[in-house]
Structure 1
Amino acid sequence: MTRRERIIAYCALGAVFFFWGTTYLAIRVGLETLPPTLLAGMRFITAGTVLFIFLRGWRRERLPTGREWLHQALVGLMLLGVGNGLVVWSEVWIPSGMAALMIATSPFWVAGFERLRSDGERISPRALVGMLVGFVGLVLLVAPGLFGATLSVGYVLGMVAIQIACASWSGGSVYAKHHQTKVAPLMGAAVQMLCAGVALTLLGTTLGEWRVLHFSPRSLMALCYLTLFGSIVAYGSYTYAVQKLPLSVVSTYSYVNPVIAVLLGWIVLGEPLVWRVMTAMLIILGGVALVKTAAKRPVTSEQQAVSIEANQRAEVLRGTTKACSVATN
């Protein structure tokens, strides 16, 4: 990767840091009058269509092949269809800041999926400690919903939905990282959003959400913000960063997003910012940091080949030196 590509990749990651931290608030505002599944579906169909037309009409990007379409569709359904779709649905029941904090557990899921791969990262004792620390943070975070007065079926279902979303998003990210195609990152993002948007819209239609669809100035502005900044800018940046940077680096977006989301939820929506939430946030992020700093970078087949070749050259060099020494003596 060239220096220019590295700079662009980190700028893309910076966009992910900020804009995805703000989307939790935008989703919460959009849900004031828009049903969750159609909100996500309309967002991704619009963003995918705009980006696709721009890439084909302006930049003349090539169309993906049939197999590449299937690959991008699978990634889109895992990341956006299930991953983001369940996040939107969960925010009907839980505050936006809490949703962001729960999603900060995504690196734990990434570490688990990487462990299942022969060429993936291995979990060290330090990483296991980090996971336990993160679990303690989760217990503290969801304690009111489990033991307090706010316990409800919707609250518990929202928490479960968030974790399913994290698992799907993380699994899709690991799959996309290890199964890259020749499709340009932005074209891949456009196809993923189109496929996920169609799936979510069909699901929303099946659930009868069109009957309760109602636009207000606030929800329309939220939808436009999610489409432009949350999808076209941030998701396009994410797909680029995943291809150019280590997944352990990219996944750090979940460290920054909760801070932005919690602060916005507190400032704009008046959501409570009590000591328990702040403490839980610090514990969760501390656990995630332990996991990521303990992650071992996998040795690829190319690196193994280079190492073997270097050893062979060293053996030849030592043999040549020894032969010259014998001849001299």
Structure 2
Amino acid sequence: MNNQNFKAYLAYIAVCVIWGTTYLAIKIGVTDLPPFLFAGLRWITAGTILIGYLFLRGYKFPVKDDLIHLFIVGISLLGFGNGFVVIAEQWLPSGLTSLLITTIPIWVVIIEMLLPNSPKINFLVILGIIIGTSGVVLIFWNDLDKIFNSDYFLGILSMFGAVVVWVIGSLWSKYKKVSVKPLMGATFQMLFAGVLQVILGSLLGEWSVFHFTQDSFYAFAYLVLIGSLFGYTSFIYAIAHLPVSFVSTYTYVNPIIALYLGWLVLNEEVNIILFAATALILGGVVIVKMGHERIKTKNKIAQANR
């Protein structure tokens, strides 16, 4: 293994661990701070630091068409997607929110099936959807007694909103490509999302209750420096030097880290049903991705034989 590959694997491990810890940091932050300002100031701070760095390095700034694309993706994935996650964590355990976010690849496939000229699916994709969805059903069945609790219901509703807008942003990003470097693209997405969230927080009167405590400040600083700056740069370095299919497996590790830390630090409930649901959801996502890989391979063979 050469030095570059070694660094790439270290970057991959960093992404697996760091992005699994962000759910705990968000949970700690929203215990004391209002959600939109907490999230928005995080993205603006991280985005401002990154854009200064990229400017000094002479990176090419996006053109108008790219900015429009980055705006749509930024407000979808980070603005509303991450925003709803932060809102949900006011009421839901951090481990549960991370697990529900893991189902996004399954919902992307389901929504994509409803679109005109949707890509073909195979038995593995269908099987993965069924298994992954079963895991989600198991979570809600386990927590059926909490559904009528208004806080829990609002948390689940927020997570549903997060998944929907994340799917929209993911599909838009899939079919609309940009010509900017990945880190530059991520930086503008952070800035667009942050501005939107700060505006929403201001309209909702969050400034009147925005006061840092020691814990919330540490959580905020961690999310800016480690979760955003180090996390995103590690991810982009890993993607540049390792197969995308391998790097994307970080999504299987994140919820395990989040569940463990939620239990260890915040005494969040972890039981056998939650473990079973985790296995079903992660297994479903893996099978869906395996199905897509088979479809891609089949299409490549078909094109080569033309």
TM-score > 0.5, shorter chain as reference = yes
Contact 1:120 1:298 in 2 (8 A): no
Q: CA RMSD in A?
A: 3.0
Contact 1:189 1:236 in 2 (8 A): no
SS of the residue aligned with 1:268?
helix
Distance 1:171 1:245 in 2: 27
- Does the C-alpha gap of structure 1 residues 71 and 150 become closer, same or farther in structure 2, counting only changes over 3 Å? closer
- Does the C-alpha gap of structure 1 residues 115 and 104 become closer, same or farther in structure 2, counting only changes over 3 Å? same
What amino acid is aligned across from residue 290 of structure 2 in structure 1?
T
Query: Structure 1: which 5+ runs fail to align?
Result: 312-329
Q: Between Structure 1 and Structure 2, whose CA radius of gyration is higher?
A: 1
Task: Choose 188-197 or 174-183, whichever is displaced more.
Answer: 174-183
Matches within 5 A, 1:278-317: 278-295=275-292, 296-298=294-296, 307=304
Distance 1:299 1:32 in 2: 47
Residue 176 of structure 1 is matched in structure 2 by: 173
Residue 250 of structure 2 is matched in structure 1 by: 253
Residue 74 of structure 1 is matched in structure 2 by: 72
Contact 2:122 2:295 in 1 (8 A): no
Distance 1:84 1:132 in 2: 26
Distance 1:49 1:254 in 2: 27
2:133 alignment partner, one of 132, 135, 140: 135
What amino acid is aligned across from residue 195 of structure 1 in structure 2?
F
Residue 228 of structure 2 is matched in structure 1 by: 231
- Does the C-alpha gap of structure 1 residues 231 and 217 become closer, same or farther in structure 2, counting only changes over 3 Å? same
Cα drift, residue 72 of structure 1: 1.1
Residue 15 of structure 1 is matched in structure 2 by: 14
Task: Choose 232-241 or 153-162, whichever is displaced more.
Answer: 232-241
Matches within 5 A, 1:186-205: 186-205=183-202
TM-score scaled by length of structure 2? 0.87
Contact 1:40 1:200 in 2 (8 A): yes
Contact 1:113 1:174 in 2 (8 A): no
SS of the residue aligned with 2:180?
coil
Distance 2:105 2:303 in 1: 30
Distance 1:237 1:166 in 2: 24
Distance 1:17 1:47 in 2: 20
SS of the residue aligned with 2:224?
helix
Cα drift, residue 46 of structure 1: 0.3
Distance 1:135 1:124 in 2: 17
Task: Choose 88-97 or 283-292, whichever is displaced more.
Answer: 283-292
What amino acid is aligned across from residue 255 of structure 1 in structure 2?
Y
Contact 1:144 1:151 in 2 (8 A): no
Cα drift, residue 215 of structure 1: 0.4
SS of the residue aligned with 2:128?
helix
Contact 2:142 2:273 in 1 (8 A): no
TM-score scaled by length of structure 1? 0.82
Cα drift, residue 183 of structure 1: 0.8
Contact 1:86 1:162 in 2 (8 A): yes
2:85 alignment partner, one of 78, 84, 87: 87
Query: Structure 2: which 5+ runs fail to align?
Result: none
- Does the C-alpha gap of structure 1 residues 164 and 237 become closer, same or farther in structure 2, counting only changes over 3 Å? farther
Cα drift, residue 137 of structure 1: 1.3
Distance 1:7 1:107 in 2: 29
Contact 1:131 1:291 in 2 (8 A): yes
Distance 1:99 1:268 in 2: 16
Distance 1:254 1:186 in 2: 19
- Does the C-alpha gap of structure 1 residues 266 and 95 become closer, same or farther in structure 2, counting only changes over 3 Å? same
Instruction: Provide Cα deviations, 1:75-119, integer angstroms capped at 9, x if missing partner.
Output: 111110111111000001100011111112111023235546788
SS of the residue aligned with 1:262?
helix
- Does the C-alpha gap of structure 1 residues 61 and 136 become closer, same or farther in structure 2, counting only changes over 3 Å? same
Contact 1:52 1:187 in 2 (8 A): yes
Contact 1:114 1:121 in 2 (8 A): yes
- Does the C-alpha gap of structure 1 residues 245 and 105 become closer, same or farther in structure 2, counting only changes over 3 Å? farther
Residue 125 of structure 1 is matched in structure 2 by: 123
1:274 alignment partner, one of 271, 277, 288: 271
Kindly indicate whether residue 52 of structure 2 is the aligned counterpart of residue 48 of structure 1: no
Contact 1:103 1:163 in 2 (8 A): no
Kindly indicate whether residue 149 of structure 2 is the aligned counterpart of residue 152 of structure 1: yes
Give the aligned length: 304
Distance 1:120 1:47 in 2: 36
Contact 2:147 2:153 in 1 (8 A): no
